[in-house]
Structure 1
Amino acid sequence: MSMTIAVTRNTPSRFNGFLASCMQEIAPGVYVAPTMKKSVRERVWRVMMDWNELLPDDAGVVFFWRNPDAPSKLSIRLLGWPKKEFVEHEGLWLTHRDLTEAHDVEELLEQGEVEEPSIDEDDPTLPMLEAVEAP
């Protein structure tokens, strides 16, 4: 059993009522179950999948729980919104979305060419970093 969290956005009241019947609503659209069995979690997800066609374009559910074998030790399921892609990279989940006209592409390219300062050997944080990296 692990903590399970569901976050909804613009979902029909059927979704909210169902989630509230099996999880605690701790904030508007945020539901938690501190110890939800896998079988219960799978059943809840199947019900929401069955109702998928009822979701408007700007609605959706993000469902996640602790999973030691998943990237970032977190399993994620999406239904509807958000229109983002989760990509596993080096054992972590990253959120990817395409650039839009709102992004200043030239500024992003300039930032990619900025040279980072060299590491100062006298930096007091270096021993902490080495200790963290050591096996």
Structure 2
Amino acid sequence: MALVMIVARDVADRFHGFLASVMLEVAPKVFVAPRMNKGVRERIWGVVADWYGQDPRGSLVMVWRDLNEVGGIGLAHLGTPPRELVELDGMWVTRLGGSGNAL
């Protein structure tokens, strides 16, 4: 089980209510679960992805520890330009998918 964090921005109120019912809200629209298994994480993301498909405004980003991914971090996102982790001169940076811009 790993720490999971979801950041919601400008989404419908029901996202906030649902996420607050299954995770801790440590700052406005920032939700964490200190020990969440993969199955629960995927079910929660499935719910928000379905809702987002019905009301596509704002954005959600989910981050979790995944040793099989670049930098050991898994990323999932809805609504924002896709992001990916890349190594640049020995550092991990976030690049907007398709744009080639490092953040």
Q: For this structure pair, what is the TM-score category when the shorter chain's length is used for normalisation?
A: 0.7 to 0.9
Cα distance in 2 for partners of 1:68, 1:87 equals 13
Q: How does 1:119-134 map to 2 (within 5 A)?
A: none
Which one has the bigger strand percentage? 2
User: Deviation of residue 68 (structure 1)?
Assistant: 1.1
Structure 2: stretches of 5+ with no match in the other structure: none
Q: Deviations for 1:47-75, whole angstroms, at most 9, x for unmatched residues?
A: 0111123132xx01000100111101000
Match of 1:73? 72
**Corresponding residue pairs, total:** 96
Q: How does 1:45-124 map to 2 (within 5 A)?
A: 45-53=45-53, 54-56=55-57, 59-81=58-80, 83-89=81-87, 92=92, 94-96=94-96, 97=99
Identity, % of aligned pairs?
A: 35
Structure 1: stretches of 5+ with no match in the other structure: 100-135
Match of 2:8? 8
Cα distance in 1 for partners of 2:49, 2:9 equals 15
Q: Which amino acid aligns with 1:3?
A: L
Match of 1:41? 41
Q: Sort the Cα spacing of 1:93 and 1:77 in 2 relative to 1 into closer, same or farther, 3 A.
A: farther
Work out which structure has the larger RCO, using CA pairs closer than 8 Å and 6 or more positions apart in sequence. 2
Q: Sort the Cα spacing of 1:87 and 1:3 in 2 relative to 1 into closer, same or farther, 3 A.
A: closer
User: Deviation of residue 87 (structure 1)?
Assistant: 4.9
Cα distance in 2 for partners of 1:63, 1:71 equals 15
Cα distance in 1 for partners of 2:94, 2:10 equals 24
Native 8 Å contact 1:72 1:93 kept in 2: no
Could you tell me the TM-score, scaled by structure 2's length?
0.82
Q: Which amino acid aligns with 1:55?
A: P
Q: Deviations for 1:32-59, whole angstroms, at most 9, x for unmatched residues?
A: 0000111110100110111123132xx0
Aligned CA-pair RMSD: 2.1
Could you tell me the TM-score, scaled by structure 1's length?
0.64
